[in-house]
Structure 1
């Protein structure tokens, strides 16, 4: 910011210069007291005291305007305003009606330095004090009509400007907070993507590496095929990571079904996986969430289950909330008694839950009769019959 708002301290040299110029412009209305000191016919002592009082008033006014706005107690500001009001009263009573204009500055300082809940009392109070002094000094009534309205309007105008500045600052801070939250959400999305992508691919690479190692002494040709598969999986993982980083990757359920079949077969697990799936009426985000769920479920089977068989089903069902597409992955491994207890969801299941919730779906994970089962559901827009 090149400038600084009312009710804020300047934070650098440029802001101090801008605020000094802006505040100094309004001191031009002190021409009446200055003219009174120059041409009012006062004695030497009165002129010295007048110049001293006017200088003290301006300095105190500038300090008040510059130093308020960062959490100072209202009592300190009220005390400073009281000093200004006392100076204005003393100068007006001793030097004449031309000095009543000082109360306008007291009113404006109240609006600039105090919150509205306090300024709504101090501005009328300063105006009322000016009116009382105007009746006490010779010729003051003639000046009152020209000063009372500026004091009230100027003071309350400053409260409006001050609140506008505070609102603008709050909006800027809110916008920065929203941007920070968006950045955090993007980092979380990237972390989930990398976890799902690399977890699956590295598990498959590990399995194929172990298999190639067992084949190498007696079956070098089979081992070479496994090494070739490892190279292919590694290249695909690199492509997936690049796409995830750029934000363009949307996994497809058909591709994940084929990849799950290959991964489970390579691990020596019997895979019962359906063929092509009807995805009519399934939103892209919902399909993507199911594909991630399948990938994470198969990765957990490969890593933790010790299973010999894994069954994957994709069915359309009717629920009380409407039609859904349901994906279930069930293995005959150790389930909740294995390395990853069902009661303690890992980062993968937590990330899946968040993905599915964003797509309007749900995730269930827990032990089954044969082992462990993960069920993911997403809403669909058609009314296909349940299976």
Structure 2
């Protein structure tokens, strides 16, 4: 699938939430103009309606600008737009004052006053919504909503309206501005929370890699630390004996040679244990890591892994390891399915997810090239590509040349 669908799928979850949030606030001006600007043409005389409509359009555009800059500030891309926030507050107050003056001068139609009153509420609600995006302190947002609501009620009283009408107007303003302010504050909180969760997931992945490096370092230290100390002591002893012409120096150097060869063997065992991936362990590890990262992971066929030859397990274990790493680092998956099956003398490993669109072609031991090299050593093949419906599938197939294994399959 190409076009907008592919563009959307390639975005990470935080980027999707940010895009949705931004475009939601970008649609607010259209809603403001549609709900509170267009009805003016049927309620007030045409010249005045055009002027008020243009004022509503300008106010909506100003709200859109402030909202965009405020969201940039929330993401740390710009400084806090204090001047724009103050400017929008003043523009909203002036716009409301203009509408109230029109109402105060009277209108030949009763519906006109209702329409203008609704326009006043819309200007306040959308103005407060954009201003709330640029304020971090929620108590200030609450104070802003309460202050505007109380001020609106007092203005109605000052214009000669009855107390009940002033109270109703204040409560309506409180509800409208409070709802839009809450929407803005909640949207910012949700956006920040999504980014923080994504950062936490990346941190968990880094910690898993760091833990593995520490384990490898500890193993090397345990193997080499004692042997190198013994080699140093015996070499020093051999030097002293050789200086004195003692024949025992040869025996000490022979012992040093034996310990060095033993150290080489132990280091190879450690490295082999690190490089050779156990398929059962890798399957369980993949499920644990992906689940911890918030990705629903299903694993099937773990029992079949135990009967496979060591070299096949190692090759397929690396496929699982690399595929899991790719899902964590390069994709935006919500679900991953790993399956191991025996089919007519072949073992087939499938890793399918709904977030990765491509696998890196890294060299060496990473990416498709590295996996194909490992599978080629056991006459295996690797296929990777889209599997329809936004899915990506990586499938490794290895023949079981052993007669015992073929019968078992």
Pick the TM interval, shorter chain: 0.3 to 0.5
Larger radius of gyration: 1
Greater share of helix: 2
